[in-house]
Amino acid sequence: MDRMKARTMTDTGQRIGLRCLAAVLSSAALAAAACLAALPSSPARKAPAGGADARARALVRRMTLAEKIAELHGIRDATHYRYVPPIPRLGIPALRTTNGPAGVGPGGAGRQAPATALPAPIALASTWDVRAAREYGRIEGAEARDLGNGLFEAPDINIARVPQNGRTFEAYGEDPYLVGQIAVANIEGIQSQREIANVKHFVANNQETNRFDINEIIGARALREIYLPAFEAAVRQGHVASVMCAYNKVNGYFNCENRPLLHGILQKEWGFRGFVISDWGATHSTVDSPLAGLDLEMPTGIYFGDALQQAVAAGRVPVSVIDEMLARRFRTMIRFGLFDRPPKRRPIPAKPDGLLARSLAEEGMVLLKNNPGALPLDAARLKSLAVIGPYAARAITGGGGSSHVVPLYTVDPVPGIEARAGARVHVAFSDGSDPAQAAALAKSADAAIVMVGQMNREGRDHPLDLGDGQDALVRAVAAANPRTIVVVKSGSAVLMPWAHRVAAILEAWYPGEEDGNAVAAILFGDANPSGKLPLTFPQSVSETFAANPAEYPGVAKVARYSEGVFVGYRYYDSKGLVPLFPFGYGLSYTTFAYKGLRISPTRLSRGEAPRLKVQVECAVRNTGRRAGAEIAQLYVGMPSSTAVPEPPEQLKAFARVMLRPGQTTPIRFLLDARSFSYWDTTGNRWAIRPGEYRILVGSSSRDIRLRGTVRVAR
Ligand code: BGC
């Protein structure tokens, strides 16, 4: 506590205060909300554009062509990495960037100090809690700055089109609305610390197989309704200050030289005033890329170095374009204070940030199954516990690749469980490499906790089964002890052919450095699980559309998105498939009842449709005996036609409410025109059809409790 105090006392006011910390830790949603609302808002939102822009342009006027070129790409040598050099003569500071999105990554082996390993972003999405996402971003932004960086390469908001994608764990799941809202809050948190957020990867970087040159053929409707909306929210609602263009091609063009996407949609249509950087090695041209809207080549100047200088000299790239690229980056950096108050290195407050990482991990876990009496564990009634499995040996701090964080410390599973269970409970451990021995251990214990999982990583897609004999291990343990509780640590959906044989299943994702404490808190009921799945868990691979290689992973480096908008639950619902666990699903140690749906108005004329605001209200009651949080979800079922087929339901709003036993709370959702719109490919615009719209409110996409309608007249 003392160190925590020290951290907050020496703060400049940008860190969360002790009171807020307590509120967040106790999940007292309202108190935490009040605290978090007091965070400084993003410089991108606040500062008047004029001053920074004028100052940036005045600077650019004083630069020689060689200086300009030097500022259009990063450099990489023995001492520099993720680094755009300074120009001291003009007072231009260096720009240091670092990874994201699961905490502050090391930026290359051994190149940066350790930081707080937060739970994986997919766990953050499972909270469906925008306050948690803001808090997560605040920690990221503060620590990135503590380590001297001005730009943080996060969030990753690519849609989980296929669960096999190796980077699913880095992002927020399969629904564009949920992804967008978590992203906006995460960006606000990062940028509240005067750290430039960098939303990535624009756009549709949805697989790692052939990621550098896969050509994705995506229809306009799927692009607009599934793959672009979260980026649009990040820009329009979250005021993100920078964007990273992706490796892949969309409809034949590399993203970093795709003028319709970068200049057309991002800049002109959405009014993006920040700057665009390339993913590492995603630039492919010297002339097309600057003209398309790419502002900075990373990590080095293969195309934006000498080659660009020659192209400018030859008149193939106008100097005015170069000046604009620089002005966009400089004015953003000026607004974030990087020119006047560059980030200074200072120690990361490991303990308080670790406590927040723990509470975020707890909030993101999803209880998938719980037979009566299985969970929570009661230490007073237990004599022995068997903790088994390869994922019980060490804390699972994150997935692999550029998002990897070197943690400041870790809490391993067994010490976490031992600390919570107390000295009276005997905790025995087996890594599960010998299933017969593990089963014998399980048989001798009051309950068996099996920790299995899958390590996913950037650069490689993965199968959906756990592999390494883990399914057989779970079966062997379950056969030996009826109270077998499976804790899954995966980065995406996995297959669970043993689900019907075990007493309880907890999806813990990659819990981060506080793994041992966070999992124990859920198992023993100190924290009541409230996470809900941000992506569908299928029963088998054959029921996913990815079973068709032309769609995924593609044939001859072409992936056809012929499923259109039918991605994730939109696909399963439209085909009438029953997944293992549906989108939006998750159990609690308490229960909730819904009632009193009120919709206003329920009828709209077509003329008022573009400006429509529909209010949907209901009440949720905690009908059990424990305090807990429920995530109420609102889906809209749009009128469908052969010409424009619609999925049965689409998420358009959600609310997380914390309730004491017996407590009832009113919930109000607000829907706007976009909630009722589809992308009209003929008119190239959002449009609202006349007809009946079903309003569905419930506890998951497959557990709708209240139904109503809104009619849009012809
Ligand atoms: C980016 C990643 C990217 C990677 C390549 C990073 O710096 O932030 O998202 O794909 O470089 O490993």
Residues 638-695: tens digit of each pLDDT: 999 999 999 999 999 999 999 999 999 999 999 999 999 999 999 999 999 999 999 9
Question: Does the beta carbon of 248 sit less than 6 angstroms from any atom of ligand 1?
Answer: no
- The residue nearest atom 5 of ligand 1, judged by CA position, is 280
d(Cα 579, Cα 504) in Å, to the nearest integer?
A: 18
Domain count, the chain: 4
**Ligand 1 mutation pick, 256, 402, 457, max ligand atoms within 8 A of CB:** 402
Neighbours of 440 (CB within 10 A): 14
Mean of the pLDDT values across residues 336-363? 96
- What length does the chain have? 714
Same structural domain, 307 and 172: yes
Range of the domain at 595: 590-712
| Span 242-247, average pLDDT | 98
Global pTM value:
0.94
Instruction: With respect to residue 56, please indicate whether it lies within any of the assigned structural domains.
Output: yes
Instruction: State in Å: Cα 200 to ligand 1 middle.
Output: 9
Q: Tokens 């550098």: give the residue.
A: 212
How far is Cα 525 from Cα 382, in angstroms, rounded to an integer?
14
Q: Does 567 reside within a domain?
A: no
Does ligand 1 come within 6 angstroms of the Cβ of 177? no
Q: How far is the CA of 552 from the centre of ligand 1 (A)?
A: 22
Are 486 and 369 in a shared domain?
Answer: yes
DSSP sequence for 53-87 = HHHHHHHHHT--HHHHHHTSB-B-SSS-SSEE--B
The residue behind tokens 């666990």 is 581
Residue nearest to atom 12 of ligand 1 (CA): 402
Residues 620 and 631 in one domain: yes
User: What residue has token string 């967040």?
Assistant: 24
579 found inside a domain: no
402 lines ligand 1 (CB under 6 A): yes
pLDDT the model gives residue 12: 31
Domain containing residue 681: CATH number = 2.60.40.10
Whether residue 241 contacts residue 332, with contact meaning beta carbons closer than 8 Å, is answered with yes
* Domain shared by 55 and 30, yes or no: no
With a 6 A CB cut-off, is 153 part of the ligand 1 pocket? yes
Active site residues: 279
- pLDDT tens across 143-157, in order? 999 999 999 999 999
Q: What is the pLDDT of residue 20?
A: 38
From the CB of 280, is ligand 1 less than 6 Å away?
yes
* Domain boundary pick from 523, 547, 571: 547
261-316 tens-digit pLDDT: 999 999 999 999 999 999 999 999 999 999 999 999 999 999 999 999 999 999 99
Q: Are residues 170 and 215 in the same domain?
A: yes
Residues 10 and 51 occupy one common structural domain: no
- Residue range 508-534, pLDDT digits in tens: 999 999 999 999 999 999 999 999 999
Quote the CA–CA distance of 624 and 448 in Å, as a whole number.
26
Q: Is 177 left (phi over 0), alpha (psi -120 to 50) or beta?
A: alpha
Report yes or no: 606 and 713 within 8 Å, Cβ to Cβ: yes
Average of per-residue pLDDT values in the chain:
92
pLDDT tens by residue, 7-37? 332 333 333 333 233 333 333 333 333 333 3
- Please list the residues that pair with 606 across neighbouring strands: none
DSSP-assigned letter for residue 156: B
Residue owning tokens 């002109």 = 268
Residue nearest to atom 11 of ligand 1 (CA): 280
Q: How far is the CA of 422 from the centre of ligand 1 (A)?
A: 43
CA 246–ligand 1 middle distance (angstroms): 9
Name the closest-CA residue to atom 1, ligand 1. 279
Section 363-376 average pLDDT: 97
| DSSP assignments along 457-524, one per residue | BTTB---SS--TTHHHHHHHHHHH-SSEEEEEE-SS----TTGGGSSEEEE-----TTHHHHHHHHHT
CB atoms within 10 A of CB 135: 29
Distance in angstroms (rounded) separating the CA atoms of residues 713 and 78: 67
Whether residues 296 and 317 share a domain: the answer is: yes
Q: What is the CA angle 82-86-92, rounded to 5?
A: 125
Ligand 1 binding pocket includes 279 (Cβ within 6 Å): yes
Query: 473 CA to middle of ligand 1, Å?
Result: 35
Report yes or no on 237 lying in a domain: yes
- Helix count (H) and strand count (E) of the chain? 21, 26
Q: Which residue has the higher pLDDT, 79 or 248?
A: 248
pLDDT at 582: 98
